[in-house]
Amino acid sequence: MDLNNLGKVMLIAGLAIAAVGGLLWLLGRVPFLDNLPGDIRIQNGNFGCFIPLGTMIVLSLILTVVLNIVVRWLNK
């Protein structure tokens, strides 16, 4: 791979990472996504633990659908 192609790949990868970061930043500001049903929060004195189980399931379903659509679109 020559440097020209490597530069293009790195630029596209950087833009994709920035886009995902921006999307996550915006989604973090949505109030109803803060604490979905199924999320576990344990608070005991100075100790706190948050396990976003419901959020992980929802994100997994959304990413599965999106990635399946993208793969099917690229294989045409």
What pLDDT sits at residue 34? 67
Give 54's strand partners: none
What pLDDT sits at residue 60? 92
The C-alpha atoms of residue 67 and residue 48 are separated, in whole angstroms, by 34
- The answer to whether the predicted template modeling score (pTM) of the entire model surpasses 0.75 is no
Cα angle 15-70-10, degrees, rounded to a multiple of 5: 25
Tens digits of per-residue pLDDT, 19-69?
988 888 887 787 766 677 888 889 999 999 988 888 888 889 989 999 999
What pLDDT sits at residue 17? 93
**Where would I find the H helices in 1-76?**
3-27, 53-74
What's the one-letter identity of residue 76? K
Domain ranges across the chain: 1-33, 35-76
Q: Which residues of 59-71 are buried (b: 16+ CB within 10 A; e: fewer)?
A: eeeeeeeeeeeee
